[in-house]
Structure formats: structure tokens, C-alpha cells
Structure 1
């Protein structure tokens, strides 16, 4: 059997606004019905009600995406739709995305960030709490989800609500 080599590789990541050119890469980790909404979401970004951010490798390939909604909660930016490519999770990319989102909030003069974590996603909640977010409530949530047969159905869950003073 051959020798197994291990090591650490550090890559500089950049965070920028999502563009139409990113959509083919994002299709790798978003289902088709979500991808169908992306052109409309880019239009919403052009109107200033949301920022869609991507984290990119040095080659410019998006490996994570998230959004900051500016009009959902007065005085706060709301981080949503966070996703990191499955094979790159738990190495700090989500942290980079959240911190970049918080920087944008500060640049707009906001003093609070809010985020929700599905109750069945303890890893997300643990990340948010490590980054200084504090639970303040919970609420029901729902969205369309693709079923195994390809049809859409309504997914219903409960989200833990967290906030952080910036």
C-alpha cells in the first residue's frame, strides 16, 4: 500500500457579489427549482433590497453563497440562504461568508445581524453561536423542496432565531 500524505493548504478566498456568470457553478449545490429563481434574485439585488454574495477560490470559482436581506427587519441585516459546497464544509468557508456579510452591514451603519438555523441543523446553530450569535426565539418556516420523484412539495420546519450586535 502507498504512503498517505497529509498537510494543510491555505487558499486566499474572496467574497464578492454574485453575477449571472456564477450560476453554472452554483447549480452544483442548489437544486433546479432554486436555480430557476436566481435571475429574479439578481434583479432584486440590483434594486438594493438584498445582496447575494459568493465566496470564490483564487480561480474565481464560487464555493459558497449567501444573501443579506436589507428590508426584512428594521435596523438589522438578515443573513439567509447560506450554502457551502458539500465537500468543502467545516473548513471555515461559512465563517468567511458570515463575516463578509457582517462587514457589509456595518458599512451600511447597521448595528445588528440576524440569522436563522433550522432546528434539525445543530451544526449551523453551533457555528452561529461560535461567531457570537445569541438565540432570541424560534418561528415556523417553510419553502418549496424538490422531492425524490422530481416534483415540488412544501417543506415545513422550525427555525431558531439568533442575533448578534455588531
Structure 2
């Protein structure tokens, strides 16, 4: 159950409760996920769905009763031995801080345990303290740092390399 409270712009408080569920992301979901990133990013997600079909990763979606994804993210089983690595976690910006990220992560952890693994790993950019606070609240513990980078598509369509430093976190499941 997702509960959202709107207190923006001096409006009266309103609470809306909506049931949501976690399921596998499918290629047919991608047109509804443009909020998650650029067209280039969604092509990468589509490639990861091919890996999911082969059993190498799980790619999950938190969906509304209308079956529309509002949070997505993956678990890669090839990065660390005996662990699932959470990555590409994203929540529809308008619904951040409503518990969807927590639900997505718990669903990912269930998938990891379902494969008989007992550890989850993830990396978070050092300049993203809000996400790091969520992971730590859910029991993830920092154990190191590592550089990371990926290609991003700019507003002009040009591809550039984003380089960053990440904090590495893990959780025993």
C-alpha cells in the first residue's frame, strides 16, 4: 500500500492510498518508463531484460493497480560471487519518498534470497546522500569506495561519459 501526502504550495493536506505490487519488468513496460532516463538508458534497460530472460539478472517493477511502473531496478548475479548486486534503481520523481524505493529494494532482496544467496550489494554516488540514507535505513553498511562511470545522453542527444565516485554498501540477508 502506497500512501502519498501532498502539502506543497500551501494546499490542504490530502492522503491518497494506492495498492502497488512488485513484478518483473517487461519490454512492453519501457514506453511507460521514460521518467527513468533517456532513450539511451532505456535501450540499456531493454538489453538487461534480455539478460533477465536468460536468468542472469532480475529486473523488477513496482506497479500501480493500472499496471503502470512507478519504480524499477535490477539485481545482477554476475558482479559478486554469492551475492546479488542492486543497480539502476529509480522511482518516478513525483512519487519519491512514498515508500516505493523501499518496496523495490525489499522485492529485490526477496529475489536474491530466492536464489539461495545471503548478501546484497550496491553502489551509490557520494553526492546522493538521500539515496544513501535510504539504503542505510534498510540495513546496508558502507565498506568501501570505487570509481564508476556510464554514458548519458544530453538534451542535445549527444552522448557523454559521466564519471563519479561511489560508496559501496552491503547487507547480509
Pair 1:66-2:73 in alignment: yes
Q: 1:17 aligns with which of 21, 24, 34?
A: 24
Q: Return 51-60 or 37-46, whichever deviates more.
A: 37-46
For 2:86 and 2:11, locate their aligned partners in 1 and report how far apart those are by CA, in whole Å: 40
Q: Give 1:38 deviation, angstroms.
A: 3.0
Q: Give 1:4 deviation, angstroms.
A: 4.1
Alignment of 1:8-47 (within 5 A): 8-47=15-54
> 2:35·2:93 contact (CA, 8 Å) conserved in 1?
no
For 1:14 and 1:73, locate their aligned partners in 2 and report how far apart those are by CA, in whole Å: 28
Instruction: Name 1:135's counterpart in structure 2.
Output: 142
Alignment of 1:1-166 (within 5 A): 4-166=11-173
Structure 1 segments unaligned to the other structure (5+ residues): none
For 2:41 and 2:112, locate their aligned partners in 1 and report how far apart those are by CA, in whole Å: 25
Count of residues paired in the alignment: 164
Residue 73 of structure 1 aligns to a residue whose secondary structure is coil
Q: Return 86-95 or 35-44, whichever deviates more.
A: 35-44
